[in-house]
Amino acid sequence: MFDSKNILYILTMLEAIEKIFIYSSDFKDEEEFYSKNKQLNFNTTVNLLISIVEENKKIDSDLKLSNKINWKNISAMRDKISHNYRGIDESMVWEIIKDYLPVLKELLIEMLPKIENNKLYIDEALTTKYYAELTYLKKLF
C-alpha cells in the first residue's frame, strides 16, 4: 500500500481533468476552443494542465508503473506550456484533452485502491466543494 498523501495529488489531478472536459466539451475543434470567449476556456485549461503536471511530480514514482502513458512527458509538458509566453500551440492542447487526458483519468482511478485508507480519504475529500466533479468516485469506492 502507498502513502495516503498520494490521494490528494490524484484527486486534484482528477478534478482538473473533469473541469477541462467541462470547459472543452462544447467545441468541435481546437480553433474554436482557442478563439471562443476571448480564450477564457483555453487559458483556464492551460492553467489546469499546469496543475496536473505539478501534482504528477508529487505522486510516488512506484505508484506510476503503467506503460499506457509516458509519465515523463507529463512533467515535460509543463515547460512547453509555462514558458511559451507568446503563444501555446492550441493543437497540442486539444490533442492532450482528446487523446491523453481520458487515459490519464483511467490510470489515476486505477491507482486509488493501491493507497492506504483510500475510501476514508476519498469520502472526506468529496465532502468539500473543491472536488465537486468527482462524485462518481463514491460509486467506485
Q: Which range of residues forms the domain containing residue 46?
A: 5-140
Across residues 108-113, what is the average pLDDT?
96
pLDDT attached to residue 80: 73
For residues 91 and 49, is the Cβ–Cβ distance under 8 A? no
Q: What whole-number percentage of the chain has pLDDT above 70?
A: 96
Between vectors from CA 61 to CA 128 and to CA 91, what angle results, nearest 5°?
75
pLDDT attached to residue 69: 84
pLDDT band for position 86 (cuts 50, 70, 90) = low
What are the CA-CA distances from residue 110 to residues 76, 82, 130 (Å)?
23, 29, 21
pLDDT in tens, 1-46: 899 999 999 999 999 999 999 999 999 999 999 999 999 999 999 9
pLDDT attached to residue 85: 58
- Say which DSSP state 4 is in: T
Tally of domains in the chain: 1
CB-hemisphere CA count at 13 Å for 21? Answer: 15
